[in-house]
Structure 1
Amino acid sequence: MSNNGTDLTHGFISSSVAILLFVSNYVPLKKYDTGDGMFLQWVLCAAIWLVALVANLILHCPNFWPFAMVGGGCIWATGNIAVVPVMKTIGLGLGLLIWGSFNALTGWTSSRFGWFGMDAEEVAKPLLNYLGAGLSIVSTFICSFIKSEIPKNTCSMDTTPLMTEHVTNKTQDPCPGSSWVDKLSPVQSRMVGCSLAVIAGILYRSTFVPIIYFKDHSKRNDSIYAGASQYDLDYVFAHASGIFLTSTIYFLAYCIAMKNNPKLYPEAVLPGFLSGILWATVTCCWFIVNHSLSAAVSFPTVTAGPGFIVAMWGVFMFKEIQGQQNYLLMIFAFLIILTGALCTAFSKI
């Protein structure tokens, strides 16, 4: 088999693994109260860094590029802050459908047209590529009509944070485990959830910009990045280091804002760590897909497909999406997403 054929095989296998694990990434968190998500964010990012460290050792410690850490990692950690509020306002299924569509669309646009200093990518069948991107827009529009029902947080012993205020205060919140998300009205929840899902999708996509920039400029002798690795996985440790550093800074700032009284949820530690391991594995596979199939193909295929499967979990396991009309809209949106992903994937061949 030719090198090109081998790359395609590795790309599609890694894409399948990424989609499978992407579906399971945030599911462990649904059964546990995570408050405002700041503590969970730090636990999840610690797990990501550990997995990336192992991958870095396996790769024999390739060159470390600080820009991949400061750029991509910081952007991802910023977008990831929105995950818990999105799950609490519009649900995991609908949230992933929306941010997956914007992730795919932003990734396709920046890679296809060469935004942010990257080289524009060429595909064998441009018409299929454009059609796939257009269907991502249509699917997002349809998702906006899907209604989700998310139960509000209620006070119980199971949702009591690990650290609470020890000084008696008569005006204390009767539900100390609740966060600002739990206090939103239904209309506010939907507006906040959809907006944060869009922002998260755009930021998630932008995390790969420094790596693609390195690869493009490594081919130019006059660039300071001349000779940089063309293998995306060589940048995974710098990427994860930026994620962990940024999440630590955010968590320290959160502790200061909470006057050294952060809300820590012990039951979320193991699920959060498992979620971080799954996400880090997805990212390693995603980097391989970027190398084998290019970003213009990988983003629509990896981000669009899992949304429907998670939406199914939202229907049957978490009961977030109910009603015949919502079911039909969700199935219609999935068919469009699937068609768009296939069009984009085969446009490379």
Structure 2
Amino acid sequence: MFVPIKSHDSRDGIFAQWMMSIAILLVGFIVYAFIGFPGFYPLAMLGGASWCLGNATAIPIISRLGLAVSILIWNTTNCLTGWAGGRFGLFGMKAQLPASPLLNYLGLICVVIGGSLFAQVRSEPSAPSKKRAADFDMEQLSSEEKKALKGDSSDEAVEVLKPEKDLNSGAQRLMAFGAALIAGVFYGMTFVPVIRMIDNPDLYPGYPTDGISYVFSHYFGIFLTSTILFVTYSIFRKNKPYAPPTLFLPGMAAGTLWAIAQTSFFVANQHLSQTVTFPIISQMPGCIAAAWSIFYYKEIRGRRNFLLLGAAMSITITGAILVGLSKAIEF
């Protein structure tokens, strides 16, 4: 999901998220039409809003912690929030007991241990690819920067665009770590309204019992929240938001990838329950992101980091397998 965006300078990520939300809404409408326009359910929008608020912090976090470490950290609290909601029936949902509570708890413990190890991996986030002078918003540059860009359109001229803040400093990384934990809680709450409606037919008579019927409403909540954030951001920036045209297609691509995956998440929840799906779906993407960070972006280096990452991935995958088995195997 973040790979198309990561190679571009997204700054605060608000415009990139708005582009994502447009693609998400389009995919949601296609699903909506495919299943026969089942209806619109406003409560499901709250889940979309929760996801959007968490995702608004994603790009700044990645710029400080790197792709893999960021995703692996926020997915730990995402996993715990989603698992606890389904396991204990929080927020008006019904408790979903696995066939083997022991395997489920062991798997969850492995996931948490893996998440704590991921947090100790030191990464060096790669810089966005260099861009020509014409790709930048000249109005956001100082007079010295404008002069430098106009006088030299070579790659050396864009060096003035480096951020003043050291994004790899201890304070910046600590802030990003805290933000990632909070973002995971927002991510973990995304299915609560939908599952609440499905689990309580007495409170919501006539509502669909299949999760995919709520996809469009959920995605519309993402689009609406993201639009409000972008408008507020534009007002705060005095009508000068950072919105380069080079982010249009990458943002749309990221949104499309996420929307397809999230639709699958709805189907998985219906057949496996949150108790099983959250530990698997929230942690496995981090392992894929780790591969991108190591082999493509070269963000993770050094023997110690590789050993920590290998141990964390092994423990996390083991935990995901145990959680998956707990659905059907009594132990």
Above 0.5 in TM-score? yes
Alignment pair present for 1:320 and 2:290: no
Do 2:72 and 2:115's aligned partners in 1 also have CA atoms closer than 8 Å? yes
Counterpart of 1:32 in structure 2 is 8
Do 1:68 and 1:235's aligned partners in 2 also have CA atoms closer than 8 Å? yes
Do 1:232 and 1:288's aligned partners in 2 also have CA atoms closer than 8 Å? yes
- How far 1:189 sits from its partner (Å)? 2.6
Counterpart of 1:110 in structure 2 is 85
Do 1:231 and 1:291's aligned partners in 2 also have CA atoms closer than 8 Å? yes
- Indicate the SS of the match to 1:239: helix
Distance 1:249 1:136, change over 3 A: same
- How far 1:190 sits from its partner (Å)? 1.4
- How far 1:176 sits from its partner (Å)? 8.0
Counterpart of 1:50 in structure 2 is 26
Distance 1:284 1:153, change over 3 A: closer
Counterpart of 1:3 in structure 2 is none
- Deviation readout 1:98-129 (Å, 9 max, x if unpaired): 12222112111111011111111111111001
Paired with 2:168 and 2:252, the residues of 1 have a C-alpha distance of: 31
Amino acid at match of 1:210: P
Distance 1:187 1:152, change over 3 A: farther
Counterpart of 1:12 in structure 2 is none
Counterpart of 2:44 in structure 1 is 68
- Indicate the SS of the match to 2:43: helix
**TM-score normalised to structure 1 length:** 0.85
After superposing on structure 2, the runs of 4+ consecutive aligned residues of structure 1 that deviate more than 6 Å are none
Counterpart of 1:17 in structure 2 is none
Do 1:90 and 1:190's aligned partners in 2 also have CA atoms closer than 8 Å? yes
- Indicate the SS of the match to 1:120: coil
Paired with 2:223 and 2:162, the residues of 1 have a C-alpha distance of: 26
Alignment pair present for 1:94 and 2:102: no
- Deviation readout 1:302-343 (Å, 9 max, x if unpaired): 111121121011011101110010001001001111111111
Amino acid at match of 2:106: L
Amino acid at match of 1:83: A
- How far 1:62 sits from its partner (Å)? 0.8
Paired with 1:56 and 1:154, the residues of 2 have a C-alpha distance of: 37
- Indicate the SS of the match to 2:96: coil
Counterpart of 1:9 in structure 2 is none
Counterpart of 1:59 in structure 2 is 35
Q: Which among 192, 210, 216 is matched to residue 231 of structure 1?
A: 210
Counterpart of 1:339 in structure 2 is 318
* Structure 2 alignment gaps of length 5 or more: 149-158
Q: Which among 183, 196, 213 is matched to residue 200 of structure 1?
A: 183
Paired with 2:262 and 2:129, the residues of 1 have a C-alpha distance of: 35
When the two chains are superposed, the root-mean-square deviation of aligned CA atoms in Å is 2.3
Counterpart of 1:186 in structure 2 is 169
Paired with 1:257 and 1:234, the residues of 2 have a C-alpha distance of: 37
Identity of aligned residues (%): 38
Distance 1:163 1:299, change over 3 A: farther
- Indicate the SS of the match to 1:66: coil
After the TM superposition, which of the residue ranges 232-241 and 198-207 deviates more from structure 2?
198-207
Amino acid at match of 2:255: G
Alignment pair present for 1:305 and 2:281: no
* Structure 1 alignment gaps of length 5 or more: 1-24
Distance 1:238 1:334, change over 3 A: same
TM alignment of 1:84-233, pairs within 5 A: 84-151=59-126, 157=132, 160-162=135-137, 164-165=139-140, 182-184=165-167, 186-218=169-201, 220=202, 223=203, 225-233=204-212
- How far 1:158 sits from its partner (Å)? 5.7
Distance 1:68 1:159, change over 3 A: farther
Distance 1:49 1:179, change over 3 A: farther
- How far 1:209 sits from its partner (Å)? 0.3
Do 1:163 and 1:264's aligned partners in 2 also have CA atoms closer than 8 Å? no
- How far 1:197 sits from its partner (Å)? 1.7
Distance 1:104 1:326, change over 3 A: same
- Indicate the SS of the match to 2:61: helix
After the TM superposition, which of the residue ranges 42-51 and 301-310 deviates more from structure 2?
301-310
- How far 1:72 sits from its partner (Å)? 0.5
Paired with 1:161 and 1:118, the residues of 2 have a C-alpha distance of: 48
Paired with 2:135 and 2:13, the residues of 1 have a C-alpha distance of: 14
